Homo-oligomer: A and B are copies of this chain.
Amino acid sequence: MLEKSHKFVTCQNCKGREHSLLNHFCSDELEHLNSHRACNYYKKHQAVFLEGSFPRGVYCINQGLVKIFKRGDEGKEQIIHIAKAGEIVGFRAMFTEEPYKVGAEALEDCTICFIGKEDFLNLMESNPVLRKGIIKELSKELADRADFITNMAQKSVRERLAFTMLILLDVFDNAPINLSREDLANFVGTATETLIRLLKDFKDEGIIEIQTRKIHVIDRQRLLSIAGK
């Protein structure tokens, strides 16, 4: 279905937009935005943009999940963020005028709209609300990452796993978490084997249920207390 449906996506009918940075537009602006965008279909595992390449615009997720990650020296991925419908990805590097320092890849089949750099910058120039929204968003993410850094530095893998699962609960809208063990490990920042052992612990403690790949969170409260704070 999704393979074709991207042809019918518009800003006007975009579900994600309501909760996004682009939610305040009047219908004229919306039409303008809509006419400067092109929707594409991305297959699971397909790259949205590559670490090291130059930004040509921004990507607005209409449907699906996209992981934002960085490769360490040994090639191991560290997942920095998982973006869902409504989120715009790839605009940070655009502002720095440097190549992407992170990569983005579809975690599942996605429909994603592209807005060219010029168009997007013009939009920002003429639209103070969008501008403020973006600045606010950048600032929020900075705070999130300060948190992330602190967690990485001070928490055990078990605590970080709990913390990560809480994030994923939100990303997956309380539906079962559906990620490869490797991606999960790369988000938590641990070895895949360690992650698997800890998942088993959580299962034994009745915090989660596991269906091969899918993880159901049973006891959210418990996760909160393990994650600390």
Contacts and interface: CB of A to CB of B under 8 A. Distances in A.
Interface of A: 70-74, 76, 78, 80, 92-98, 101-102, 125, 128, 131-132, 134-136, 138-143, 145-155, 189-190, 228-229
A76 B145 contact: no
Given A95-B136, A154-B74, A155-B72, A101 B143 contact: yes
A150 B95 contact: no
Contacts of A76: 154
A63 B98 CA distance: 30
A92 B80 CA distance: 20
A140 B96 contact: yes
Contacts of A147: 70, 101
Given A95-B135, A138-B135, A138-B139, A148 B149 contact: yes
Task: Specify the main secondary structure of chain A where it touches its partner.
Answer: helix
Contacts of A152: 149, 152-153, 189
B142 A78 contact: no
Contact of A72 (B93, B134, B150, B190): B150
A98 B144 CA distance: 13
Nearest to A131: B131
Nearest to A134: B135
A73 B226 CA distance: 11
Contacts of A155: 72-73
A139 B137 CA distance: 11
